[in-house]
Amino acid sequence: MNGRKQGHPGRHGDQPAAVAWVNLRRLGSVQAAAHAGLEALSIGVQEGEPLSLAPLTGLPRLRTLTACPGTLADPLEIASPTGLEFLGLGPEEWRVLLDAGAVPRSLSAAAIEVHGDRHPLPIVAIANELLALRNRAPVTRTTLEGRLGPVG
């Protein structure tokens, strides 16, 4: 990486890092990561209060944003960065965006970040709502019924 770590302040020539990580080990805030050349931001586990995305408003090159569940103060701030092509969020954050009709229209791909043991059907429902926004076929659900027991 040209002698510098991604996601850390610092420059090589006049170019700050295009990819940044905000978490316990890297940058401590969205504001520290935000600059006009930022293309991808990942928000991971951190201490303290959930983070605001306000510093990302108006960033012209931001195309990718991922945030671990529970790390965002207000998921509706995602509507401010225009031009997002990929967005990865927890189910609760997706629910907020879907209920508000605020899923960015510019998205080409999305991920539902699930941590821990969660029942898959509510996650599939969110995925199907996201797919429906792009007139895509839903995730197929198959229910099997039967009795388990010894054979014979």
pLDDT in the model for residue 152: 65
Q: How is residue 125 written in tokens?
A: 């429902």
Bridge partner list, 27: 22
pLDDT in the model for residue 16: 83
Query: Residue 143 CA to chain centroid, in angstroms?
Result: 30
In three-state secondary structure terms, 95 is helix
pLDDT in the model for residue 80: 76
Q: How is residue 100 written in tokens?
A: 């508000």
Reading the chain (152 residues) residue by residue, the pLDDT tens digits are 333 344 444 445 567 889 999 998 889 899 999 999 999 999 998 888 999 999 999 999 999 999 999 999 999 999 876 799 999 999 999 999 999 999 999 999 999 999 888 999 999 999 999 999 999 999 998 888 888 888 76
Rounded to whole angstroms, how far apart are CA atoms 123 and 105?
21
Q: How is residue 16 written in tokens?
A: 């700050």
Placement of tokens 């991922």 in the chain: 66
Q: What is the DSSP string of the chain?
A: -TTS-TTSS-EETTEE-SEEEESSSSBS-HHHH--TT--EEEE---SSSPBP-GGGTT-TT--EEEE-TT-BS-GGGGGSSTT--EEEE-HHHHHHHHHHT-S-TT-SEEEE---SS--HHHHHHHHHHHHHHTTPPPPP------------
